[in-house]
A = this chain, B = another copy of it.
Amino acid sequence: MNLQANTFDLTDFQNTLEDSTWVLTEPAFDPAGQNHKETVFTIGNGYLCVRGDFEEGYPGNAPACFIHRIWDDMPVNFTELANIPRWWGVDIWINDVRFRMDRGQVLSYHRRLDLRTGVLSRTLRWRPAPDGPIVELHFERFTSLANPHVAATRVQVQVVEGEAALRLRTGLNAHVDNTGLLHWQLLDQEQTPDKARLQVRTRSTGIDLALTAIVDTQSTVPWSVGTCDADGQPAVERRATLRDGESLTLDKFVGVVSGNESADPVREASAMAQKAATQGYATLRAASDAEWARYWEASDVVVEGDIEAQLALRFNIFQLLIAAPRHTDRASIGAKTLSGLGYRHHVFWDTESFMLPLFTFTQPALARNMLMYRWHNLPGAREKAQTNGYEGAQFPWESAGDGSEVTPIWGTSATDRRQLIRIWTGDIEIHITADIAYGAMQYWRVTGDDTWMRDYGAEIVLAGAKFWASAAQLEDDGKYHFRNVVGPDEYHDRIDDNAFTNALAQWHLATALDLLVWLKQTYPARNAELKANLDLNESRLAHWADVSSRMYLPEDPETGLIEQFTGYFDLIDADVAALRDPARTESMPQLLGIEGCAATQIIKQPDVLMLQYLLVERFSPEQVQINYEYYNPRTDHEYGSSLGPSISAIMACRVGDRAAGYEHFMRAARADLLDVRHNASDGIHGASAGGLWQAAVLGFAGLRIHDNGWEIHPQLPDGWTRLAFKFYYRGKLESVDIRTEG
């Protein structure tokens, strides 16, 4: 079943029998893969996420912890989430030797992430010097899913052999950065033998953040206490002498509150930490674990007959669950979740088109939060439309705190520093406005949340439709066009009449008109209000209908083959041999140059197939087939967009090519776990993770939603004996359990 056993394997994540489908296990540490593993071992609770770096540090590590909404200014990319002060660090000295895994001798090692509870733990035996004692160290950390502002760590030191003078220091460290850029100024700190407190403020945006850490020590031997009050590094200390079998355990309870959530974050953070410390480690864990069980009850996908696929599905679902804002509706999930610095936490179409369905189907309250983020940011979208000379709301290609456009405008050429490369996506990758409307409509269709659609969703859809109608250009051929755009396939930019964009715009306008009919029937007052507020007079609506009905779509009337954009078929045909060369390790633009690749039909992701995936009712099976056969071989599946493989998997299922479907599925499954794209150190590929769920549920199970029910069209990969999952349909938790003989 392992398609490319020589290239990929899971030896890094060998699992013990009892929890092989729930626990990622690392039996040995390889420094070369350190930053990849930090991403993989990211844990979180929808408020904050922390990368899986070692508590004691390691040369070349990239520790980071991000909290939703703590944006601060930066050059080029405008804004990013500030890496918050390090609350999980622990300094350990054994006989005055500072513990680190590149020092002394590591005698055994074991790291595990339990996806059921989000607990990351590590157990190892270490000897500081050849003649020194042997100690067993156990580290544990988790963020509470029961209280978003609480995290905890546990450190256990036990002497296995000899006598050890133990010194243990832990606290809060404000000396953190985003790859060399400082975001914090230190406001205040405090340290007592049992507590460390830190108050910092972002340098540009002035957001306050308070952290309090309270420690609880347990040991059968006496210990002494101390503090460290170095600027920015308040910490507590413990010293003890341990002999064979003796141990010391230190539990640390951390409260984290920002000015975004509280008028008095210092007081709140201290109260949170104090409450957690009073509850104790076990109670805190139990409350969090219970919440995790509720998460998994709805969101788990069970696969039998394919352990790798099973574990990958759970891992990818886990990574999205921890990143989804649970306690605010003014944040959403960035392209690389909260697990790294890639794309600086900006929110793209990745969110609505790839990640949102998992939430819409299994955690609708979180889907609602993510859609509300867009509604709150309508002013930014309206401003963008206005700046560009359009009406309505044009959502930004990259969105951060306030919904203004934060796509970088210029990049520097890798070969000539005088040459700047204009990044056009922020200006002309306009399809995102329809993608967001699609996400809103899908949420409504699946959940039946009429109240939300009335109060919020309708405004998103209608304001977006207004943008499309104002941007479409009626030309001499009697058709409406969108010229100078970028479609999902970003290997070709500044193109005319991208089929995906035009068809989604057409769908968006038609959908908006339908929505108005529904509103008028169901909520006439709100209908009138929205029509007045958005100036939706009859002539404007007639124009919408006209644009929708006369949208230009480059479709061959005989074969049904869709030209991705005007002139695409005139480009040099793709060199499929080069594209499929197993020795290739770079994307096609890296190999051919940006202009060189743009001159060919090689595409970054299946642009036309994505359109056929979304607007499923618009295309006949034959038309899907012919387009799949044309575009699939011309796609840079390996190093193009990480968004592609899951969609390719679904479309392969649609045309009945289960083997190809599984190959695409596994490519998405391995994006982060096996770092097949060589950039997982920047963070989790959120769209790939969300697409993986879609590929399993909407692809292999073939789940389709109707206005009054749902159906499945299973096409399980060879070897899969079971595929089971749940989802909410109109408020009710539905179960699907598909079993075959594999």
Contacts and interface: CB of A to CB of B under 8 A. Distances in A.
A85 interface: no
A231 B181 contact: no
A577 interface: no
A409 B417 CA distance: 9
Interface in A215-266: 228, 230-233, 235
Chain B CB within 10 Å — which of A173, A233, A417 has the most? A233
Nearest to A175: B175
A316 B76 CA distance: 38
Interface in A177-206: 177, 180-183, 203
B175 A232 contact: yes
A466 B197 CA distance: 65
A229 to B, nearest CB: 8
A175 B409 contact: no
Contacts of A177: 182
A231 B173 CA distance: 10
A63 to B, nearest CB: 13
Nearest to A234: B230
A580 to B, nearest CB: 38
Copies in the complex: 2
Nearest to A76: B75
A181 B230 CA distance: 21
A420 interface: yes
B410 A410 contact: yes
A328 B182 CA distance: 33
A496 to B, nearest CB: 23
Contacts of A409: 417-418, 420
Nearest to A185: B59
Nearest to A203: B180
A231 B228 CA distance: 11
Contacts of A417: 78, 409
A91 B232 CA distance: 14
Contacts of A75: 75-76
Interface in A78-117: 78, 91
Nearest to A91: B231
A228 to B, nearest CB: 5
Interface string A651-694: 00000000000000000000000000000000000000000000
A46 B82 CA distance: 38
A180 B203 CA distance: 9
Contacts of A76: 75
Contacts of A230: 228, 230, 233, 235
A575 B82 CA distance: 49
A177 B91 CA distance: 24
A218 to B, nearest CB: 26
Contacts of A78: 417
Interface string A473-484: 000000000000
A521 to B, nearest CB: 44
Contacts of A418: 409
A175 B231 CA distance: 9
Contacts of A420: 409-410, 420
Nearest to A418: B409
Nearest to A204: B180
A271 B417 CA distance: 43
Interface string A3-35: 000000000000000000000000000000000
A181 B76 CA distance: 14
A603 to B, nearest CB: 28
A330 to B, nearest CB: 23
Interface string A349-387: 000000000000000000000000000000000000000
Nearest to A426: B418
Nearest to A230: B230
A629 B231 CA distance: 59
Interface string A404-418: 000001100000011
Interface of A: 75-76, 78, 91, 173, 175, 177, 180-183, 203, 228, 230-233, 235, 409-410, 417-418, 420
Q: Which 5 A-B pairs rank lowest in CB-CB distance, beginning with the nearest? A: A230-B230, A180-B182, A230-B233, A175-B175, A409-B418
6 contacts: A78-B417, A175-B175, A177-B182, A231-B233, A233-B233, A409-B417
Given A180-B182, A230-B230, 14 more contacts: A75-B75, A78-B417, A173-B231, A177-B182, A180-B203, A182-B182, A228-B228, A228-B230, A230-B233, A230-B235, A231-B233, A409-B420, A410-B410, A410-B420
